[in-house]
Each structure stands twice: as C-alpha cells, then as structure tokens.
Amino acid sequence: MASTVPPSSSPSSQTSTQPQNQSPRHIHLLARKQFLQDQISSLTSERNTLVTKALNPRLQVSDSAESPTQAQVDQALDKANVDIKTRVRQLQEYNDVKDIGTQLMGLIAENKGVRIAEVQRDFGVEGSD
C-alpha cells in the first residue's frame, strides 16, 4: 500500500475557499483530519478483505463485502497464528536436517581428506542449497 501525503494547506493554496474566520492552521488541521479519515477507511477495507480471504481463501472478495464480525476477525487471526507457527516449526525442522547433513558431509570430507565443497559436489549439493 503506497503512503500518501495529506493535501497541502498553505495559506496561498487555500485563500480562495478559506472563510475569513478560519486560520491557516485550522484549515491545515481539517485537511489532516480528512486525510486520516480516508486512511482509516482504506485500512479498514483492506483488513476486511484480508479477514474474508483468511476465512475462505476460495471466495472472490469484492470491495463492497460486509464488514466481518469481531468473532470472524478473531478466527482469522487465530488461523494466521497457527499458520505462522506451523511455518516456523517447518523451518526449524528443515534447518536441523540441513545442519545434520552439513555435519555428515564434513565428516566424510575429513575421512577422505578433501574439502567439504568437493563432497557437496559429489552429492550434487550446491552452495545455495
């Protein structure tokens, strides 16, 4: 999501529409308030879309989708947390297996009296694997 800058509220840009009783600071604050309200609306819409997709990934979400209930938001967050924990566990298991494989190749290299890179090449393992 691209960040946008609130509209300028310098006195020169507001003089034609500025009522005489509003100061430039007041005009600036009104413009800032509108900008923040637009941002909240945009973020709320994005959150609703993400919650809906998390609860039903096959559903085509439109911009006019109803706002999810708090229970649906909680359910989507719970699902996301479970997914994150699963991925972290899988990465930990992968790293453990990779470490064991690297240690074994080190032992083989030491026994053969060659560099680990040669053993990796013999097994078809590249440096980025």
Q: What is the pLDDT of residues 104-113, one digit of tens each?
A: 999 999 999 9
Report whether pLDDT(29) > 80: yes
DSSP character string of 31-60: HHHHHHHHHHHHHHHHHHHHHHHHH-TTSP
**Model pLDDT, residue 55:** 82
Q: Dump pLDDT digits (tens) for 89-129.
A: 999 999 999 999 999 999 999 999 999 999 999 999 886 76
**Model pLDDT, residue 129:** 63
The residue ranking higher by pLDDT, 17 or 108, is 108
Assessment of whether the complete model's pTM goes beyond 0.75:
no
Count how many Cα atoms sit within 13 Å of the Cα of residue 7 in the half-sphere of its side chain: 14
In this structure, which long-range contacts are made by residues 84-87, counting pairs with CB atoms below 8 Å and at least 24 apart in sequence? none
Q: Dump pLDDT digits (tens) for 49-77.
A: 888 888 887 766 554 457 788 888 888 88
Angle at 40 between CA 2 and CA 1, to 5 degrees: 15
